[in-house]
């Protein structure tokens, strides 16, 4: 993602695409699968709250944000499906969809803290 805030097809970098999907979709699914057995093992059929962070961009895509918007649409679909799968439990599944907010870009974080390789 570097310092790019937007990318339009066909100039979308495959590495940026992979990072965004791995972070926003695969990471969320992996975390859910890690906590779900713990929640299900709780007394009385299981209990817990799963709160996923989506984005309004998952419902209202914008030009130049096709990959980000696609990942947040995937979060929405996963959350909706998971809620239906767990409807007969006391495990609640929710999604928070913030609107546009000013955040620090990955490039700015790298300048402040170094690359992910430096964090190990």
Q: What 3-state DSSP class applies to 49?
A: strand
23: tokens are: 């972070």
Residues with a catalytic annotation lie at 68, 72
Report in angstroms the alpha-carbon separations of 118 from 110, 111, 114. Answer: 10, 12, 6
Is residue 76 within 8 Å of residue 21, measured between CB atoms? no
């Amino acid at each position: 993602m570097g310092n790019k805030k937007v990318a339009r097809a066909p100039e979308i970098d495959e590495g940026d695409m992979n990072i965004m999907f791995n972070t926003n979709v695969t990471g969320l699914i992996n975390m859910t699968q890690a906590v779900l057995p713990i929640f299900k093992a709780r007394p009385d059929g299981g209990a817990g709250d799963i709160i996923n962070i989506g984005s309004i961009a998952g419902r209202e895509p914008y030009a130049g944000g096709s990959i980000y918007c696609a990942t947040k649409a995937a979060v929405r679909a996963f959350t909706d499906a998971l809620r239906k799968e767990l409807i007969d439990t006391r495990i609640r599944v929710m999604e928070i969809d913030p609107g546009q907010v000013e955040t620090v870009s990955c490039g700015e974080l790298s300048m402040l803290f170094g690359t992910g390789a430096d964090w190990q």
